[in-house]
Chain A
Amino acid sequence: MTDIILRSLYVSGSALLVASVVGLPLGTVLALGRFPFRRTAATMVYAGLALPPVVVGLAVYLLLSRSGPLGALELIYSPPAMVLAQALIATPYVAAITMAAVESVGPDVRLQARALGATPLQALLLHLREVRGSLIAALAAGFGAVISEVGAVMMVGGNVLGETRVMTTAIVLETRRGNFGLAIALGGVLLAIAFAVNAVLLALSRQGERRLFPS
């Protein structure tokens, strides 16, 4: 049971890490950048929110299957395959909320900072600090989308005991086996973890605001 919980946190945590590395810069660039097809790209990110996890799972499965284009990597039915699938699911959440947050602040902050002698990078960082709370909300949304996700990890992980079984796939299995009590217990743990993670993220964002606006 403990190893299933830890594996859930590991897989979804790693996926969130990858999604942040891609999604935060992507959302920022889409909000601030001026380049052709920026609107189309932004629409695609928002549309990504509607992508069913099981379709992402199927695509990743076909990619990593032993007879698929990346079959030689032998990643199918392993945790890295699950991380990849969940990262693809979480990235649109992180990018879309980042984009909306960054857009919500006008260019004044950066202009003033530049006028006071900041480099473009420093000005950008100041802009991002301004929306720090929303960026953490973006991470919370991404994490929530993947920790509770079952279709994709089932398909690319195979729900292998001791290797790729996570909380959601264990819940499906125990329900199928008629062990409703165990399934409900796992559901409770999942909910508690989601609550704890969001509480931590929320505390972080509050702390960030206090640092910016000391009373």
Chain B
Amino acid sequence: MADRRSIGLAALCLTVLVSCGPSTDALHLGSTTSTYDSGLIDALMPAFTEAYPQYSVKVIAVGSGEALELGRRKDVDVLLVHAPAAELEFMRGGHGLGRRRVMYNDFVIVGPPDDPAGLREVAGVHDALRLIATAEADFLSRGDDSGTHKRESFLWSGAEIVPAGDWYREAGEGMAAALLVADATGAYTLTDRATYHSLRDRLRLIPLSEGDPLLLNVYSVIPVSGARHQKAARDFADWLGSASGRELIAAFGPQDQERPLFRPVTEFDPLIRTIDELEQALSRQPTGQ
């Protein structure tokens, strides 16, 4: 009796297993953790699937480095990432159908409120990093080849510093975890504004260096060449850059902030030249960062 029941149970499980096969018609979006964890993607998706009811979207939220690799392997159909130099390399390799810059915010250097290295005294981010290195104040790096980590390496080399020593540590973690570690150990760290904002209430860390054009954080959408759902991927990229997509991006997050969490890119954006120059500088990096 018990045996028959367990055989029935096993058969049921197998049936569910088989019937629960993959849904092959979903658009796979490889997004960065910052856009997903901040809730932006969740805010955008209902409007997209309303405009294009024929598509459903699966979101895979990983670091930009991993997202681009998923794109190379055609496991995602479209990318929303923030690693300009790596994106341009991705495009040169023929992996993308087109690259459109859709939005930006900025990175900030956050640190303990007593600011032991005196970052508040200087305006530029290179000077800020030099102060940290000179004071040998604790600095926590992501150390995970994410978009944020790539930018951090770019900034150090721009400041002509090779960060090394007891004061420079690598977390090897996502942005939120790195912020929590930096907070607990009283270290400086580089973060995107959206992730910092989402954790702000739990952190003593405050922004201490911000506003330098080198800290601009630009997100691009790239339909992947040779992926399964190229039409859907193109439609998504076009929609994100359209007036309705831009409006939703601008409306996301608390509106009382001095800076919005994400700012849509328009052709007439006063910062577009600054962004171009930044991307050129990023691409010139010998390390490919």
Contact = CB atoms under 8 A, between A and B. Distances in A.
A178 B176 contact: yes
Interface stretch (B53-61, B147-155, B268-276, B281-289): B53-61
Interface in B198-219: 198-199, 201-202
B228 A159 contact: no
B23 A163 contact: yes
B165 interface: no
Q: For chain A, which range describes its interface: under 10, 10 to 19, 20 to 34, or 35 or more residues?
A: 20 to 34
B178 to A, nearest CB: 11
B243 interface: no
* Chain B residues touching A, majority SS: mixed
Contacts of A76: 22, 75
Nearest to B18: A80
Interface stretch (B9-17, B232-240, B255-263): B9-17
Contact of A14 (B13, B38, B198, B199): B13
Contact of A173 (B28, B37, B58): B37
Interface residues of B, number: 31
A160 B60 contact: yes
* Chain A residues touching B, majority SS: loop
Interface string A169-213: 000010111101000000000000000000000000000000000
20 contacts: A10-B20, A14-B17, A67-B73, A67-B75, A74-B22, A74-B24, A75-B22, A77-B58, A80-B20, A83-B17, A159-B60, A159-B61, A160-B58, A161-B59, A163-B23, A175-B176, A176-B37, A176-B176, A177-B37, A178-B176
Interface of B: 10, 13-14, 16-17, 20-24, 28, 33, 37-39, 58-61, 73-75, 174-177, 198-199, 201-202, 228
